[in-house]
Amino acid sequence: MSAHRIAYRKGLHEIAEGVHAWLAPDGGWGLSNAGLIEGAGSTLLVDTLFDLPMTREMLTAMASVTDRSPLRHAVNTHANGDHCYGNALLPAGTVIHAGPHFDDDLHEVPPALLAQLMTAELGPVLGPYLRRNFGAYTFADIPVRGAEETVTAPTTLEVGGRAVEVLPLGPAHTRGDVVVWVPDARTLFAGDLLFIGGTPMIWSGPVENWIAACDRMLALDPVTVVPGHGPVTGPDGIRQVRDYLTFLHGYAVSSIAAGRTWQEAAAVVDLGRYATWGETERTVANLYAAYRSLDPATEPITLLELLTAMAGWQRP
Ligand SMILES: [Zn+2]
């Protein structure tokens, strides 16, 4: 089955034999994809969603599979809430696996913090920006559930006789990114190491390590690739993201050489063909992250300061 034949429609799609993707157009802020892999009599879930109603809707749609093959494992590809805040709805016996620093990162930005930001007085720029991008979600009263197992090396999980590999490829998007590879279906769940149609977001970096992660994903020789956000793709989608990261890295290097701050670099950036992607304001945060790893003298800023810089960015 070719990746290009998978319609980008909200809901559960069987993308290979016993491999399902939950897709959430348009893939913007908080609209993340997830996955379900079925072996004989058991299943593995890739990621939960941003809030409990969304996760409940997805798990209900998945019941057509999980009623006969209950969830035994879940993998959180990283600690951003749109991939794990729904963990509380997983059956108690489900073993949750995630990469390094997962619980720390989750507790640093728990749902309660986002709930608080939605109602806080944050001024005329940041307040409306956050409400526009996150106001549709329900962050209040979400119990935080972390991971039981930390994946620090390539790990094979057995799912009803089927091998599913969890590969740590971070730090890149976050400090602890993992991807899920189903060798017998040549299907890859890339988490937020791939945004398709939207601008990738670099919370952590270094950018070079994310480029290396793209090479690792390409080396798997996947046929079908499910990004964290956007439509199902194939190796071309990995190459697109790799190209963007290479562009961003090169631009950061030349901007530093020209004596510009990251703010100045963001103010004059020519995104070229990436200007048509969604969420272009992430470029601001991406330049900050690139500068941080390239130039240790870059002054650290807080999460709120970073979001404010993104919210106030005027496309050159
Ligand atoms: Zn995401």
d(CA 17, CA 223): 13
Give me ligand 1 centre to Cα 133, in Å. Answer: 13
Question: Could you tell me the sign of the dihedral formed by the alpha carbons of 187, 189, 195, 201, in that order?
Answer: negative
- Beta strands at 162-168 and 178-182: parallel, antiparallel or unpaired: antiparallel
Give me ligand 1 centre to Cα 80, in Å. Answer: 6
pLDDT category of residue 5 using cuts at 50, 70 and 90: confident
- Beta strands at 71-76 and 43-46: parallel, antiparallel or unpaired: parallel
pLDDT at 2 over 90: no
pLDDT category of residue 4 using cuts at 50, 70 and 90: low
Give me ligand 1 centre to Cα 94, in Å. Answer: 22
Going along the chain from its start, the domains and CATH numbers come out as 3-234 (3.60.15.10)
Cis peptide before 222 (omega within 30 of 0): no
Give me ligand 1 centre to Cα 82, in Å. Answer: 5
d(CA 286, CA 52): 29
d(CA 128, CA 30): 16
Give me ligand 1 centre to Cα 81, in Å. Answer: 8
Give me ligand 1 centre to Cα 228, in Å. Answer: 6
Give me ligand 1 centre to Cα 258, in Å. Answer: 33
Give me ligand 1 centre to Cα 173, in Å. Answer: 9
Mean pLDDT over residues 142-167, rounded?
98
Helices (H), the chain: 52-66, 102-108, 111-119, 123-134, 207-219, 235-257, 262-268, 282-294, 303-311
Residues 254, 255, 257: CA angle, nearest 5 degrees: 65
So what's the pLDDT on residue 1?
45
Judge whether 157 and 166 are in contact, CB under 8 Å. Answer: yes
pLDDT in tens, 169-203: 999 999 999 999 999 999 999 999 999 999 999 99
Give me ligand 1 centre to Cα 259, in Å. Answer: 33
Give me ligand 1 centre to Cα 200, in Å. Answer: 9
d(CA 228, CA 273): 21
Judge whether 44 and 36 are in contact, CB under 8 Å. Answer: yes
Give me ligand 1 centre to Cα 50, in Å. Answer: 9
